[in-house]
Amino acid sequence: MRNQIAYACLAATLLFAACIKDDIKSSYTYYRPVYKTKESVRQNVKSSAPVAVVAPGKLFYKDGYVFLNEVLKGVHVIDIKNPASPVVVSFIAIPGCIDLAVRGNILYADLTTDLVAIDITDPTNVQVTKIVEGVFPHRYYGNYFQNDTSQVIVDWVKVDTTVWSSEPLSWGLKSTDMVFFSSSSTAAATNGIGGSMARFALYADRLYTVSHGDLKVFNTARPDQPAYVKQVPMYSSDIETIFPYGDHLFIGSQTGMHIYSVQNKDNPVKQSMFTHARVCDPVVANSKYAYVTLRNGTRCGGFTNQLDVINIENLNAPSLLKSYSLSNPHGLSIVGNTLLICDGADGLKIFDASVPTDVKQIGRLSGFTAVDVIAINNLAIVSAEKGLHLVDFTDPAQPKMLSAITIGK
């Protein structure tokens, strides 16, 4: 009898163990969308007292002010006229905002699927001057998540969950899955400067924007009343960034650099393309050379981390001069012969680019993960994973951190 009981217990134990062996514990973080009606979203585009930086995004510079995107939330207005002591002036709530640009005293931004023009003459009391509806319909979320076309996603609520299952589960929207598509009087209006990661670019009295497959043109001759002009198909599905120089647009994609002429401002014309391996690539340019950073570890794929220097003296036939290895380069900026590169976790690196075939690193500032940079004279405005950094590179070999506005402060 004892043996029968022992065998029964053993069988039950083995059966229970088998059940547990088949069960898999899976922990997930996903983001649940928060919806509001389009009308309520538009009514809430307004300025407020400064708020903490939580998710810094792209940046723009104009007349002593930095406009730092708070991803999907709006724009921090920061007075950096004294870069050693920057002052956060206000926060402009713009739901769904990813990109921005400033012309005169008008801020342009993507308001979810719309373009909004905002008078920032008084950044503590901004006024919406125009909304151009439906010009940015490209919103994609990973795992086949579909937006609700009758409403607007204004936030994502983080949800942590644990599930027991006999098979690994694959559902939910994880943070790494989110990819978003889309930077007064006429005589006084001047254009600000955007970072190399921008999808908005200003040239003369036109605003150009790129999504993954097209280039759009807006007439900003009246800055407060932008008018949609046209869409230019790019016959590509991997467009990422746009950089204006002279009367040309240098457009970065996952597979190369496109050069468009805007001599006819309303009719951009593709002039040429430089092709590279499939990786993410912001680009900046001057009169003779374009500088492209290529990096891996992103949704773009690829295994390359380098700087490409491209000869663009003949804009119809750009050619590679030389490539330089880097760690994980992101945004970049060039002023004179000084090239600044955000090399990810390696921080901000400064190069002497006076000889394009012999670009040499001469300085570095580490301790933060650098994402994008705008160089104004000897001041580097650096966006990082955890905030905004202002760096003096008067001596490129010894760059100095002047100040920082970091997450939560």
Cβ distance 227 to 218 under 8 Å?
Answer: yes
Cβ distance 383 to 348 under 8 Å?
Answer: no
Contacts of 224 (CB under 8 A, 6+ apart): 106, 117, 119, 129, 130, 184
Closest Cα to residue 44, out of 101, 104, 112? 112
Closest Cα to residue 276, out of 245, 243, 240? 240
Cβ distance 179 to 31 under 8 Å?
Answer: no
**What pLDDT tens digit does each residue of the chain (409 aa) get?**
444 444 444 444 444 444 444 555 556 666 666 666 666 677 789 999 999 999 999 999 999 999 999 999 999 999 999 999 999 999 999 998 999 999 999 999 999 889 999 999 999 999 999 999 999 987 544 444 445 555 666 666 677 666 554 444 333 333 333 332 233 434 469 999 999 999 999 999 999 999 888 999 999 999 999 999 999 999 877 888 999 999 999 999 888 899 999 999 999 999 999 986 556 679 999 999 999 999 875 554 456 899 999 999 999 999 999 999 999 999 999 999 999 999 999 999 999 999 999 999 999 999 999 999 999 999 999 999 999 999 999 999 999 999 999 998 6
Find the angle CA(79)-CA(84)-CA(86) to the nearest 5 degrees: 25
Strand partners of residue 233: 214
